[in-house]
Amino acid sequence: MALFSYHQHSSEMFLGFIIFLVFKGVLGATFTFVNKCDYTIWPGILGKPDLGSTGFELKKGASRSFQAPAGWSGRFWARTDCKFDDSGHGTCGTGDCGSGSIDCNGLGANPPATLAEFTLGSGSQDYYDVSLVDGYNLPMMVEANGGSGTCASTGCVADLNRRCPSELKVDGGDACNSACRAFGTPEYCCNGAFGSPSTCKPSTYSQMFKSACPKSYSYAYDDATSTFTCTGADYTVTFCPSSSPSLKSLMGSGSDSGSSVEQAALATSSWLANLATGDSIRIQPCAAALFVALNLILSLLVYL
């Protein structure tokens, strides 16, 4: 009798687990947005079907959640320096969607803007990434909660506005363009004769982005190290996530070592940017390799 009771209980638990998975696949995922920036932001949403909002205000320290159905596909980003009147009409300094209102109404972000992109599976894997292909306006982190599979966190926590080359920087320094947007040439935009993975390779600019944010998309064909999967998870999208403990201890030690390392990294990045546009002085190939290696080492020291 006790053995029968045990097997009955186990069967009920297994059945409950299967029902949970089925309903989880139907329900999709909950997206929670958290603002850790020192200022108000206005997240934008572009995707189908509609989640009930296409844009909203999120004050410093606030959070807000939305339920997305299975099969939902779309993107999120933050708009900054927005000025809206009492009727909700206005514009934003970065990430503006051009709708003239708080709601984006089916319009995407005007580059440059850091993007979080999702495709939710229907009882199968979700795909997600953080993309800098359209440039960067603020740090962003995506974390998967309660799912199965790899479910790795991804994002860009580095302040790329501070290390943005002058030729990519927007007026005011509040965002950093991609090389495609800045120059518009096929080799940077991965179109025309450069419209395939075999012909469009990482540029010096995309490599700078990648060294600072190794898990983010740095150019159009950066799939291998930038796309992540998870099954049955909910997701937290954090704007301006807190710095890592190692970076906090480095910059808060009271010495000048942290600032010296960062200044050296910025200087090396500027040299690489000049090299890409042909403005740098001529140097031997071995010296160029040394500079690239130094840039990667310094980026790891500052941002990891």
Q: Are residues 110 and 138 in the same domain?
A: yes
Strand, coil or helix: what is 219?
Answer: coil
Nearest partner of 34 among 58, 68, 66, 67, judged by Cα: 58
Contacts 24+ apart (CB under 8 A), 292-295: 294/268, 295/208, 295/211, 295/265, 295/268, 295/269
Q: How confident is the model at residue 122 (pLDDT cuts 50, 70, 90)?
A: confident
Q: Are residues 281 and 207 in the same domain?
A: no
Q: Is 237 domain-assigned?
A: yes
Q: Are residues 222 and 249 in the same domain?
A: no
131-156 confidence digits (pLDDT tens)? 999 999 999 999 999 999 999 999 99
**How many angstroms separate the CA atoms of 259 and 243, rounded?**
15
Q: Are residues 41 and 171 in the same domain?
A: yes
Q: Are residues 292 and 212 in the same domain?
A: no
Q: Is 266 domain-assigned?
A: yes
Q: Is 86 domain-assigned?
A: yes
Using the predicted structure, report yes or no on whether residue 20 has a pLDDT greater than 50.
Answer: no
Nearest partner of 304 among 238, 247, 221, 222, judged by Cα: 247
Residue 158 near residue 213, CB atoms below 8 Å: yes
Where would I find the H helices in 179-244?
Answer: 179-183, 186-189, 204-212
Q: Is 209 domain-assigned?
A: yes
Query: Mean of the pLDDT values across residues 158-184?
Result: 95
Q: Are residues 212 and 289 in the same domain?
A: no
**How many angstroms separate the CA atoms of 216 and 117, rounded?**
11
Neighbouring residues of 8: CB distance < 8 A, sequence distance ≥ 6: none
Residue 110, pLDDT score: 97
Q: Is 251 domain-assigned?
A: yes
Residue 227 near residue 215, CB atoms below 8 Å: no
Q: Are residues 235 and 248 in the same domain?
A: no
Q: Is 4 domain-assigned?
A: no
Tell me if the pTM is above 0.85.
no
Q: Is 1 domain-assigned?
A: no
Domain final residue pick, 200, 220, 242 = 242
Q: Are residues 219 and 258 in the same domain?
A: no
In this structure, what CATH number is given to the domain that contains residue 136? 2.60.110.10
**Residue 63, Cβ neighbours under 10 Å: how many?**
14
With both helix axes pointing from N to C terminus, report the angle between 204-212 and 257-277 in degrees, rounded to the nearest 10. Answer: 160
Using the predicted structure, report yes or no on whether residue 17 has a pLDDT greater than 70.
Answer: no
Residue 297, pLDDT score: 52
Domain final residue pick, 194, 227, 242 = 242
Query: Mean of the pLDDT values across residues 96-111?
Result: 97
Neighbouring residues of 152: CB distance < 8 A, sequence distance ≥ 6: 144, 215, 228
Q: How confident is the model at residue 65 (pLDDT cuts 50, 70, 90)?
A: very high
**How many angstroms separate the CA atoms of 266 and 47, rounded?**
36
Query: Mean of the pLDDT values across residues 20-45?
Result: 82
Q: Is 3 domain-assigned?
A: no
What domain range includes position 270?
A: 244-304
280-301 confidence digits (pLDDT tens)? 333 333 333 444 454 455 444 4
Work out whether strand 154-156 and strand 73-84 pair parallel, antiparallel, or are unpaired.
Answer: unpaired
**Number of independent structural domains in the chain:** 2
Q: Are residues 20 and 139 in the same domain?
A: yes
Q: Are residues 202 and 283 in the same domain?
A: no
Task: Report the helix count and the strand count for the chain, using DSSP H and E.
Answer: 7, 11
Q: Are residues 275 and 207 in the same domain?
A: no
Domain final residue pick, 220, 242, 264 = 242
Using the predicted structure, report yes or no on whether residue 7 has a pLDDT greater than 70.
Answer: no
**How many angstroms separate the CA atoms of 278 and 271, rounded?**
10
Question: Which is higher by pLDDT, 251 or 41?
Answer: 41
For the chain, how are helix, strand and coil distributed in percent, rounded to 5? Answer: 30, 25, 45
Where would I find the H helices in the chain?
Answer: 2-27, 179-183, 186-189, 204-212, 245-251, 257-277, 285-303
Torsion angles phi and psi, residue 161, rounded to 5:
-65, -35
Q: Are residues 188 and 91 in the same domain?
A: yes
